[in-house]
Amino acid sequence: MERAELDHDGLRPTDLSARIGATDGNHAPCSPTREDPFRRNCSDRCRLVTNRLDRQYLDWAYASTISGKQEEYEALKTTLEMINRMQGDGVIGKYAIGGAVGATFYLEPSATVDVDIFAMLPKAGSSSLLSLAPIYEYLKAHGCDADGEHVVIGEWPVQFLPPSDALEREALAEATETEIEGVKTWVMTAEHLVAIAIRTGRPKDHARILQFLEQDAVDTEKLNRVLAGHGLIAKWQQFKKKYGADPND
């Protein structure tokens, strides 16, 4: 399939940023009739954010929006089966999917190039330090290859991340159980995904937050509780002001 020509602002018509608010494959724009000025401006603001991303990221977004969730989930099934096997064998403890792949449980398909698995990890012997070594050794013994910080499991590069702070520990503890192609797994809640994105604050994180808001995929009351509980209200207000809303609305 040939790629569409870039439009006047440098984005392809099928780029993810142009699909904010779409509920099907027709790439419908977000509704201009929303009363909330923050939500009404989400699509335009997200286009500005995405314009600042590098071209490689846009290429990933283009490919992902074509493939759709179903193909992603079918490929992810094998990956999750191995991760569940690791958990059953005691190599990792409780885990949850976060990052861009976690967001696809709530949103239209997005740029997903790897899987972030937040997991409780074993300690190295009597040391208080967490160790990734047992994970790499286990997966290598099962035919998986390391690729930098990732391990390729099935078709997906996977990065295992121990929760680094109270927000991530809470996100892991409150993760939602679900299934992909009959395989049980856990995914962070939409509110925790947004809170982590607010804390991280990269352009692509901001683009994802705008998606959550425009697609009404987040409970704003719960989100505010999470943000308040982890000292992120100021960052949230800065984000809202930057992307077209009064922080006090």
**What is the per-residue pLDDT across 219-232, written as a single tens digit (0 to 9) for each?**
999 999 999 999 99
**What is the per-residue pLDDT across 58-79, written as a single tens digit (0 to 9) for each?**
444 445 544 556 676 777 899 9
> What pLDDT band is residue 236 in, cutting at 50, 70 and 90?
very high
**What is the per-residue pLDDT across 101-138, written as a single tens digit (0 to 9) for each?**
999 999 976 666 799 999 998 765 555 567 788 999 99
Per DSSP, the residues of the chain read -PPPPP-TTS--TTSGGGGTT--STT-PPPPTT-S-HHHHTHHHHHHHHHHTS-HHHHHHHHHHHHHHHHHHHHHHHHHHHHHHHHHHTTSS-SEEEEHHHHHTTTSS-----SEEEEE---B-TT-SSB-SHHHHHHHHHTT-EEETTEEEETTEEEEEE---SHHHHHHHHTPEEEEETTEEEEE--HHHHHHHHHHH--HHHHHHHHHHHHTT-S-HHHHHHHHHHTT-HHHHHHHHHHTT--TT-
Count of all residues that appear for the chain in the document: 249
Q: Quote the pTM value.
A: 0.71
| CATH of span 37-242 | 3.30.460
pLDDT of residue 193 exceeding 80, the answer is yes
Provide the pLDDT for residue 130. 72
Spatial separation of the C-alpha atoms in residues 82 and 192, rounded to whole Å: 25
**What is the per-residue pLDDT across 5-63, written as a single tens digit (0 to 9) for each?**
333 333 333 333 333 333 344 433 333 333 444 444 444 444 444 443 444 444 444 45
- Domain definitions of the chain by residue range: 37-242
Q: What percent of the chain has pLDDT over 90?
A: 55
